[in-house]
Structure 1
Amino acid sequence: MKVTVIGSGYVGLVTGVCLSDIGHEVKIFDINQHKIKMLESGQVPFYEPGLEKILKRNVKKNNLFFTSQERFAFADTDIVFIAVGTPPGLDGEADLTYVFRAVQNASSYMKENSIIIVKSTVPAGTTEKLNSLCKKLVPNKNLTVASNPEFLREGSAVKDFYKPDRIVIGANNDVIHEKIKSLYALIETEYCLTTPESAEMIKYASNALLAVKISFINEVALLCEEVGADVEEVALGVGKDKRIGSSFLRAGIGYGGSCFPKDTEALIYLASQYNKEMKIVQAAKEVNDRQINWMLDHINQSATQIEHAKIAVLGLAFKPETDDIRESPALRVIDYLLQRKAEVQVFDPKAMPNTKNQYGTTLSYHETVEAAVENTDIVLVLTEWEVIIKHLPAAINSMISKPVIIDGRNCLERIKLNSDIRLVQVGKASEETEFANVEYSINTVSVAKKNIS
């Protein structure tokens, strides 16, 4: 089929590139001409393992094109995917401006009987509003808007495209279901064929439930510290129950990224519009917002004074295998440290360029773990990159003056560290388990705010 994808961010680019790789002719449209030029030269504007190789392969095969020209993008296509941002407003409401604008612009060029597929995460009822918009704008074209939410995890998005747990398709008739299903004919998986409203809710409910699991185990972790239990052993035992499962039961300093924070807020807001409360989701959000206090408490207990203390921050991305720093807990920690006038030395194998764009020269950037931890008083592990797990123990063991390690991702093994090194981890009993009930005020001190769409 001939496919156009609007948006060259994580969702749009991965979707478009991988669709071209399974035999479709794909055009990726973006109004950002700088991005288009990068993509035409074979460069991916963000880090996603394996994506650049597939992109170059399909450009060479003439399956994949990039454009900012609307007529070229939409005039001769069978299906248009909407993969633009839906950023949260101050009250958590998903901003659908870009979604509606994309449909409005594309529909004016599209041929009759074409399909528009919404990949962007949108509230229930949005697809039907877009159907009504198309009937109003181009009443004679018989365009259909359907929902096909994405479930791509940053860092493993390519793998998730080829081996998804399921593909959800929301449409109002079986003909559209089957047409969209045929797009993925080479993908072996289960299909969930449903209405647009159900498809939209599946996406929000999925992300909300995963957020709840993370916040639940983080609350359990704090209690484990008080009673002398080990949260990793607790999570292992709980996860053996097949009704629960072990995924997303890893304690840490909270979730971040472009999905969970935004989607939980949007779901809470959506419910409020129908006079309903999402009390469990709201609680998960509140727990996540507070979880950073665990790290700040331990920083304050470990430093004689934070002002002028040398503190290493290892890991800046919100998770490993991505350069995405949106809503990363590491940024809240950095903001607090800079507010307290600490000297902050940072390392991340992929996310330092994005961090430099945001913080400029207020941080000291290092190309290796060893350089980042040199002469430090405290070392914070905030992203569980393999390179950090591999190199940090030896780097610390070789230092004459040993810093305290606060492992906010429970990724280090105590046995690999010398016995004179103090290691603090989430949900594991330590000598300091009594903290003042402090609400930290963190001012954002970044030199610029820059999101990756």
Structure 2
Amino acid sequence: MKVSIIGSGYVGSVSAACFAELGHEVICIDIDEEKVRQINAGIPPIWEEGLGELMEKHAEKHLIATSDYDYAVQNTDVSFICVGTPSDEDGSIDLSIVKAASASLGKAIAKKDHYHTVVVKSTVVPETTEKVVLPIIEDYSGKKAGKDFGIAMNPEFLREGKAVYDFMHPDKIVVGAIDERSGFAVSELYRKLDCEVTHTNPRTAEMIKYVNNSFLATKISFANEVGNICKQLDIDTYEVMDAVGTDFRIERMFLNSGAGFGGSCFPKDVKALIGKAKIIGYEPELLKAVVSVNDRQPLKMVELLQEKLGELKGKRVAVLGLAFKNDTDDIRESRSIPVIAELLRLEADVVAYDPMAAESMQKVFGGIKYSNSAAEALKDAYGCLVMTEWDEFRELDSEFESMADRVVIDGRHMIKSKDINTKIDYDGICW
């Protein structure tokens, strides 16, 4: 099939490359000419494991990029909207980019003689596809949904760092369409994948995405709340969760206590669902608590450090890990951000290290020091906060000996060796 992808960010780039790998002809649409140039040269505009190889393999063969909506729509059968949906100041979803993409699609569809299917893949709150995207395309195209063009919602369930793998090995594919023709067109794109397609309506597909992420976020905040209690009772919360996780109704994943969740999905999606609930007159108390626990959790790292070091003013503190999770350079909603902000408020001398995300964090905190290695960051530091689950941090040992005062607060359950713990004043956030 012939597919166009609007937006070359995280979801758009991965979807484009993977659809090309599945044998489809793909055209990326992006208003950023630099991204267009990169994709046509086989260079991914973002870092994601395996993405570079796929882009290089298919560039200017099964995958091309353009800024011309008319060209892309005329030469494809299906268009995916994969643009960003950031949060407003109150946490509600900002649909301005989705609306702009829908308008541009509508103008292009107006010039097309054949049926065209529009698929929303951006994460949007329930009713967006039917009550926002559909009418905009109808208005700008002068055509009728279900008759002249199709509309569907196809949410993504991709983990950053493992997105290519997740796309090619999905545990679920959800297609919410307004008619059978649209649903069939989207389903056909995934025919080579070994996964059953769940067919539903657009608003249910939208809700499935939000519930999926909100439930995982709830498990994390629940684990952190339990971990905070366990720490006060001198109980190993990991031992507790290992046992609890054997219950098939609960399962062990996402029950690790730590500094909290971040990234481009969980914080934004939970807040967006809260915002949508409030619009329809419902107060989602549990979801609000999930966010509240997550907001407080990373600051406990600094509180533990203060308990051990006292006043932090002028003291060198090493922050290890800046990305919101390992295997990515993404710092969106990283738990390191509130931690560094609090350390700066307390006038600590902050030095940070991350194998991939330092450049991104420099745009947020330009005034702190950045090291080229964990060992360099630890040298002469009074305290160390481990914020991201990078494998290299598990190997740290003699590096701690160069610290001025060997206080280590572990936010990710990384420092486990008893031999190492005898060399440092070690404490975990929840253990």
TM-score by length of 1: 0.91
User: AA paired with 1:168?
Assistant: V
Give the match for residue 388 of structure 1.
393
Q: Does 1:137 align with 2:140?
A: yes
- Alpha-carbon contact 1:135-1:143 (below 8 Å) kept: no
**After the TM superposition, which of the residue ranges 340-349 and 155-164 deviates more from structure 2?**
340-349
User: AA paired with 2:383?
Assistant: I
- Alpha-carbon contact 2:393-2:414 (below 8 Å) kept: no
Q: Does 1:322 align with 2:324?
A: no
Gaps of 5+ in 2: none
Gaps of 5+ in 1: 429-453
User: AA paired with 2:84?
Assistant: G
Question: 1:411, 1:124 → 2: CA distance?
Answer: 38
Counterpart of 1:358 in 2: which secondary structure? Answer: coil
Q: Which of these residues, 266, 269, 291, is aligned with residue 263 of structure 1?
A: 269
Counterpart of 2:363 in 1: which secondary structure? Answer: helix
Provide, for residues 358-409 of structure 1, a one-character-per-residue CA deviation record: whole Å limited to 9, x for no partner: 222x12111111111111111110001012222x22311x437552111001
Q: Does 1:225 align with 2:227?
A: no
User: AA paired with 2:141?
Assistant: V
Give the match for residue 275 of structure 1.
281
Give the match for residue 34 of structure 1.
34
**1:51-130 equivalences in 2 (<5 Å):** 51-59=51-59, 62-110=61-109, 111=112, 112-129=114-131, 130=133
Deviation, 1:416, is 4.3
- Alpha-carbon contact 1:414-1:423 (below 8 Å) kept: no
User: AA paired with 1:387?
Assistant: E
Q: 1:69 to 1:416 in 2, by over 3 A?
A: farther
- Alpha-carbon contact 1:303-1:309 (below 8 Å) kept: no
Q: Does 1:180 align with 2:186?
A: yes
RMSD: 1.5
Q: 1:323 to 1:295 in 2, by over 3 A?
A: same
Q: How many residues align?
A: 424
Question: 1:230, 1:133 → 2: CA distance?
Answer: 54
- Alpha-carbon contact 2:42-2:58 (below 8 Å) kept: no
Question: 1:420, 1:395 → 2: CA distance?
Answer: 10
Give the match for residue 167 of structure 2.
161
Counterpart of 2:351 in 1: which secondary structure? Answer: strand
Deviation, 1:414, is 3.1
- Alpha-carbon contact 1:316-1:330 (below 8 Å) kept: yes
**1:223-372 equivalences in 2 (<5 Å):** 223-360=229-366, 362-372=367-377
Give the match for residue 411 of structure 1.
414
Q: 1:352 to 1:383 in 2, by over 3 A?
A: same
Deviation, 1:426, is 2.6
Q: 1:400 to 1:34 in 2, by over 3 A?
A: closer
- Alpha-carbon contact 1:107-1:134 (below 8 Å) kept: yes
**After the TM superposition, which of the residue ranges 85-94 and 156-165 deviates more from structure 2?**
85-94
Question: 1:206, 1:138 → 2: CA distance?
Answer: 34
Question: 1:41, 1:131 → 2: CA distance?
Answer: 34
Deviation, 1:170, is 0.2
Question: 1:312, 1:290 → 2: CA distance?
Answer: 21
Identical aligned residues as a percent: 39
Question: 1:416, 1:156 → 2: CA distance?
Answer: 33
Give the match for residue 192 of structure 1.
198
- Alpha-carbon contact 1:382-1:409 (below 8 Å) kept: yes
- Alpha-carbon contact 1:302-1:378 (below 8 Å) kept: no
User: AA paired with 2:120?
Assistant: V
Deviation, 1:123, is 1.1
Question: 1:140, 1:318 → 2: CA distance?
Answer: 43
Question: 1:187, 1:53 → 2: CA distance?
Answer: 20
Between 1 and 2, higher relative CO (CA 8 Å, sep ≥ 6) is seen in 1
User: AA paired with 1:146?
Assistant: A
